[in-house]
Amino acid sequence: MKFFLDSANLDELKKAIAWGVIDGVTTNPSLIAKEGVPVEDQVRRICELIDGDVSAEVVSITAREMVAEGRQLARIHKNVVVKIPLIEEGIKAVSILSKDGIRTNVTLCFSAAQALMAAKAGAYIVSPFIGRIDDLGWPGMDLIKDIVTIYSNYGFKTQVLAASIRGALHVVEAAKAGSHIATLPYKVLQQLFQHPLTEKGLEQFLADHRKAFELIEV
Ligand code: E4P
């Protein structure tokens, strides 16, 4: 399973890269807006930090404009994946861009039917938003399971990226369901390290070591 960082913040990215577990980055217009830097500049800086897929999202809503914007984003760096919303015009844009060899990440996916359309259009990645479905009181993880099954039934090459992840359990469940990628906010990535028994066990080991060897040294 690939781990992407779901952030446009360079400090978070540098810290996560240092752990050696990050394969790529996803951004969206809200994450870019938080950084207060034009999308092209920020995406270029991200691409300079990591050698992996970096998703950059269009903000147009007609196929013609999305294609033009997508081509411009793809020119920033070879690792840019153009993120396109899962609307009718978006699917049209994905078909055109994928025929041009431009890789796309189809975002705002909330149903298996939508995911089928993304795969048929030649998407490189599809992003089902599990946390936002959970927020409505429905089981978001069922969507990941359905898409993984459908893509495997027909041999679609589109990768399933579990998005809108809220905690470590989402990551584990998405991995069990066979999601190819999980994109994690920095806070969730940190949570993956944590277990109270690890802390407690380490404290005990170090205390035992100190007791045995520091006493001898005295
Ligand atoms: C990633 O590609 C998505 O834009 C992101 O995971 C959305 O997460 P949110 O629902 O926490 O905003």
164 has a pLDDT exceeding 80: yes
Count other C-beta atoms under 10 Å from residue 146's C-beta. 17
Whether residue 124 contacts residue 105, with contact meaning beta carbons closer than 8 Å, is answered with yes
Return the structure tokens found at 98: 């994928």
Is 217 a residue whose pLDDT tops 80?
no
With a cut of 80, say whether residue 175 has pLDDT above it: yes
Residue 96: predicted pLDDT: 98
Residue 209 CB: number of other CB atoms within 10 A? 10
Residues 185, 153 contacting (CB under 8 angstroms): no
Q: Ligand 1 centroid vs 99 CA: distance in angstroms?
A: 27
Give the distance (Å) from ligand 1 centre to CA of residue 163. 5
Tens of pLDDT, residues 51-90 = 999 999 999 999 999 999 999 999 999 999 999 999 999 9
Q: What percent of the chain has pLDDT over 90?
A: 97
| For residue 12, pLDDT beyond 90 | yes
Q: Give the three-state DSSP class for 22.
A: coil
Residues 101-144: pLDDT tens digits?
A: 999 999 999 999 999 999 999 999 999 999 999 999 999 999 99
Report the C-alpha gap between 115 and 25 in whole angstroms.
21
Residue 87 three-state SS: coil
- Ligand 1, pocket-test mutation among 6, 109, 125, most atoms within 8 A of CB: 6
Q: Is the pLDDT of residue 216 over 70?
A: no
Catalytic residues: 83
Q: Where does ligand 1 bind, in terms of residues with CB under 6 Å?
A: 6, 26, 28, 107, 127, 129, 131-132, 163-164, 183
Give this prediction's pTM: 0.95
Whether residue 218 has pLDDT greater than 60? no
| Residue keyed to tokens 């810290």 | 15
